[in-house]
Structure 1
């Protein structure tokens, strides 16, 4: 199949997915680039269609899967269509439309010794994507995204995850409802705090623990802070006042991994 006109009705819907309100309306999102499309195919994500620049043909990296992914529609499109459906300065030669898949909270609550990252009001897309990528890197069990966070289906978040969104459950939810349930299941809620009594290197990450992370500007919201069991500090010998939230998350996650698997 081919679609060459940027005025085509389907193209207009795809381009709309660059905005959150249309992603919510259609329950779909758009990914760009060979790597993200490869990761989506490998993870058997719910792909509606894959569009490639017709002049260049299907990228060689995707040629093998093009024949095996029978339920995915492959569409050749013009450069003008690619440009309309991209928010990047240099549009990629391929993009895909995916249906959103809502994850379930119950497996995270029931998992023995679960390690989960909880995001509270983190608005920077690059930070949200990087935290998801770090959680994937250490084999965390999931990420929970609370109110006020950047949309995980936004183009900048998706690029920052480098495909990690397809590797672990990422769930949206109301933290004031979810966190008390976690406590009822014996899960410790630990978060970074400048008034913390405990170094992250002295904390026991081997049991079930969920890491609470707030925005760089405001930290954790008061509702979430009240539910936190343990405040952690990352010791710093230099003069930097603080760390970027994605970097802080990565340090805590890799310390949890070290204690669990490399101690």
Structure 2
């Protein structure tokens, strides 16, 4: 294990470090500190593999450091390695049945220029408020090899513990930026990127539309769809054909269908 990693034991929930980590369950403290919590072996593994800035790894002293993590810690410098009681684990994760390990990670700092790649495929979320839906969309974007995900105002916090869990580690696999959609969409259009939305009135289905050029897919809130300002920027609308009796797909399912059609056209032809 890397000798630069600081090892310590914490047994009291009143410890100042514990209080600071538990505060990360609230958005205002995440924003203030620039850090967030990841829970469980898989997410900590993904963070370490992605070379994310992991400030601390905390594990249940009764269960010990998960064996899957030990080799990965060799290449990590200046990370606090903390063994703690189950009470401390529960306080910091807000769960009655805490995971065997959690991590404290620095929030991402990304350059918007990464969005404007040639033939880019970017997913733009406008007011998506459900953590499960956001996490699923990020996983789908990761699965199809999208270049980035953009989160506009009104979206659930990316670093909300429920959102983080629902990404299943995909938040470490592709750039995710939070920004002003009015500015970002305008800049994309000026660079020749098409902005695509969905509409029941669209004449193109998602299968007849050509997804092969540089494209940003805009997905709106679960109840209201895209905001008026985003709608005004959209260049093309598509519709997902519905042949059964279901009235609609939720935003995560719809986004996944659209992304996989884009993947099919871009990678498999036709």
Same fold flag (TM > 0.5): yes
Kindly indicate whether residue 85 of structure 2 is the aligned counterpart of residue 78 of structure 1: yes
Kindly indicate whether residue 233 of structure 2 is the aligned counterpart of residue 231 of structure 1: no
**So what's the TM-score if we normalise by structure 2?**
0.95
Q: How far apart, in 2, do the equivalents of 1:223 and 1:145 lie?
A: 15
Q: How far apart, in 2, do the equivalents of 1:27 and 1:63 lie?
A: 26
Check whether the contact 1:28–1:99 (CA below 8 A) recurs between aligned residues: yes
Kindly indicate whether residue 118 of structure 2 is the aligned counterpart of residue 112 of structure 1: yes
Alignment of 1:25-64 (within 5 A): 25-64=32-71
Deviation at 1:196, TM superposition (A): 1.4
Q: How far apart, in 2, do the equivalents of 1:25 and 1:62 lie?
A: 29
Q: How far apart, in 2, do the equivalents of 1:104 and 1:15 lie?
A: 29
Check whether the contact 1:87–1:155 (CA below 8 A) recurs between aligned residues: no
Q: Which residue of 1 aligns with 2:214?
A: 208
Deviation track 1:110-163 (CA, whole Å, cap 9, x = no partner) reads x11000000000000100111001000000000000000010001111111000
Deviation at 1:70, TM superposition (A): 3.4
Q: Which residue of 2 aligns with 1:96?
A: 103
Q: Which residue of 1 aligns with 2:260?
A: 254
Q: Which residue of 2 aligns with 1:140?
A: 146
Q: How far apart, in 2, do the equivalents of 1:66 and 1:51 lie?
A: 13
Structure 1: state its 5+ residue gaps. none
Q: How far apart, in 1, do the equivalents of 2:259 and 2:139 lie?
A: 11
Higher mean C-alpha deviation, range 189-198 or range 233-242? 189-198
Deviation track 1:63-121 (CA, whole Å, cap 9, x = no partner) reads 22233423322111111100101133421010000111221111211x11000000000
SS at match of 2:122: strand
Alignment of 1:3-18 (within 5 A): 3-18=10-25
SS at match of 1:29: strand
Q: Which residue of 2 aligns with 1:19?
A: 26
Check whether the contact 1:31–1:97 (CA below 8 A) recurs between aligned residues: yes
SS at match of 1:147: coil
Alignment of 1:172-251 (within 5 A): 172-251=178-257
Q: How far apart, in 2, do the equivalents of 1:197 and 1:224 lie?
A: 20
Deviation at 1:187, TM superposition (A): 0.2
The CA RMSD measured in Å over matched residues stands at 0.9
SS at match of 2:138: helix
Kindly indicate whether residue 76 of structure 2 is the aligned counterpart of residue 69 of structure 1: yes
Q: How far apart, in 2, do the equivalents of 1:68 and 1:189 lie?
A: 41
Deviation at 1:210, TM superposition (A): 0.2
